[in-house]
Amino acid sequence: EAAVTQSPRNKVTVTGGNVTLSCRQTNSHNYMYWYRQDTGHGLRLIHYSYGAGNLQIGDVPDGYKATRTTQEDFFLLLELASPSQTSLYFCASSERQGGERLFFGHGTKLSVL
């Protein structure tokens, strides 16, 4: 079973703060994704990547940067955090695009005060 590990599990920051969420997958998947989950909106795609150095824009990218440093590691950056970014963030990976199973991490709960 593919393993996707997110860190930290919980994070509290203040408005204007700088936050980096980390994700590592250990099954050599090509695709990695960052989602946020909010009540009433389900999961929404922020950014995704199909390999080291690649970045694709998702559906709600404003206020977020991302970087895929290696095949295993995908980071989500909030450079000026705002209270509207308080959410549950999930990282996921899949082997190929087009319907392959998504494997999710356990999530990072971020609170921006």
Partner 1 sequence: GQQVQQSPASLVLQEGENAELQCNFSSTATQLQWFYQSPGGSLVSLLSNPSGTKHTGRLTSTTVTKERRSSLHISSSQTTDSGTYLCAIDRGTGGYKVVFGSGTRLLVSP
**How far is the C-alpha of 90 from the C-alpha of 58, rounded, in Å?**
14
Q: Does 89 bind partner 1 (CB under 8 A)?
A: no
Structure tokens at 26: 């250990």
Q: Does 31 bind partner 1 (CB under 8 A)?
A: yes
Smallest separation, CB 101 to partner 1 (Å): 5
Whether 63 contacts 55, CB under 8 Å: no
Q: Does 62 bind partner 1 (CB under 8 A)?
A: no
Q: Does 43 bind partner 1 (CB under 8 A)?
A: yes
Burial class (CB in 10 A: 0-12, 13-18, 19+), 21: buried
Q: Which spans of this chain sit near partner 1 (rule: CB under 8 A)?
A: 31, 33, 35, 40-45, 48, 50, 56, 58-59, 90, 92, 94, 97-99, 101-107
